[in-house]
Chains A and B, each alone.
Chain A
């Protein structure tokens, strides 16, 4: 099936990167935000599309809660994080009447919304479009892959935490990528150890090394591990837009 309306939008976007994980709460949205901010600070034009329709976190993390989407003749105008308009963002969070409203949708409606996001948002010229996804291997993932297929996205960054319970789900996600022919750009091991602020001792809260082992097993690049840092949580929570230096960016281009 062809989706020319999606293609028209994507024609002016250089790279499309998905951020995936089979498991929830491992830091997909946090990684997406850090990646977006780093790329934007290097001077690239970046768009962030949040297709987690039932639990959109990106607006909060980018400090954009409560903003409204406007319609222009060219389509929906994304929300810009900075005045220089280098970082644009689109999420269902901007379309909800209140922060308590839930989106209780089955698959077909979610698919339709994702198609709207891909076809109707006036991103303009972008160097990178980062797509933040919900956990799992189901409707949202199949929909976004289907709509993007002809325009071959650059690939996926897979995020995991080190414990076995998370790795089991992430293995499924890597297999999903293989099955649908989406290249895996690499794997990030998040929440790998916690340095106690009182005594500086590092504790492996969710064990350690699991991500690296998984990357070896599947023969995909290991992008590095990031420790748990309460400061990062605070930054994301306080809607601050400070850029945390990020070592993963170079592998994306």
Chain B
């Protein structure tokens, strides 16, 4: 019975339940060869694109001036991926000489533009491709939200259209001029381990991914989805920079006592990191001002520099910086 759920077709491998004369899931005739007739995987193979993508070298060329590419991932939704991406981008861009680009590949629920305070902006085409939206001189953002008629419009797309959009973000956006460099490119992702994640990893294969930062909250319901994301990173050979535990503990503004809203019944991120042998970058407490800063699109670390949460952010971000620059 377990087979039904685990028949993921790994890159280039013939699935166990395939027909005898399987041409291989990556071949040109996958799903259409004579041997494919009646195979349980036929529909999957024939709907997958055959052969290596001809656009991959173009993407690699576009991103050749980008030094570090960092993915922000989590199996679980609503744990603070976009919040963390936003704050990381603001903090990196505090240094005027650092050029930062942020790509929001959450196509169905883009939150980054609001968090970065640029929601009503629009993308302009130029001879070198689309110009991203600049929040500061050295901080550029690209998201599908800039292309929607209003914030209520739903993007009801199946996988292939989402993948096409992500490809355009990398292929058709003028991230840098020829003689300039982008120091960091951050990718904010949707929850899960599906189309968007596979696409971005495949598109970046030629240009290389520096690593992934994984965000979680302390309770097991969230940790169990994050385990799946870590498994995905290992399957897709994406290096893991480390895990950030968000919403860990809440300090009451009235009495300054700390309580655990999302209790780490299984030891939280710390136990997870020890079990799977990955670095824990730090824990960020729940602070209502973080949510407010996001709703207003301002940099939390700048506006609430003295709060414990801002200190936690700063420590984690400098850790990420040093790990990334060393690698």
Contact = CB atoms under 8 A, between A and B. Distances in A.
B178 interface: no
B325 interface: no
A24 B76 contact: yes
A104 B194 contact: yes
B92 interface: no
Nearest to A210: B295
Nearest to A161: B78
Interface stretch (B132-140, B252-260, B316-324): B252-260
A85 to B, nearest CB: 20
Interface residues of A, number: 75
Nearest to B81: A24
A175 B291 CA distance: 25
Interface in A19-78: 22-26, 29, 53-55, 57, 60-61, 68-71
Contacts of A105: 8, 193-194
B102 to A, nearest CB: 15
B17 interface: no
B259 A103 contact: no
B108 interface: yes
A138 B20 CA distance: 35
A165 B1 CA distance: 40
B130 interface: no
B1 A68 contact: yes
Interface string B183-210: 0000000111111011000000000000
A228 B255 contact: no
A92 interface: yes
A135 B75 CA distance: 11
Q: How large is the interface on B (under 10, 10 to 19, 20 to 34, 35 or more residues)?
A: 35 or more
Interface stretch (A9-17, A124-132, A233-241, A243-251): A233-241
A193 B119 CA distance: 26
Contacts of B79: 24-25
A155 B78 CA distance: 24
A204 interface: yes
A161 B80 CA distance: 13
B104 interface: no
Contacts of B157: 137-138
Contact of A230 (B5, B77, B259): B259
A60 B221 contact: yes
A106 B257 CA distance: 45
A54 B76 CA distance: 9
B129 interface: no
> What 8 A-B pairs have minimum CB-CB distances, sorted nearest first?
A24-B77, A25-B78, A95-B5, A107-B159, A54-B192, A201-B254, A136-B108, A199-B255
Interface of B: 1-2, 4-6, 8, 43-44, 47-48, 75-79, 82, 107-109, 111, 114-115, 151-160, 162, 190-195, 197-198, 217, 219-222, 224-225, 227-232, 235-236, 250, 252-255, 257, 259-263, 265-266, 276, 286, 288, 291-292, 294-295
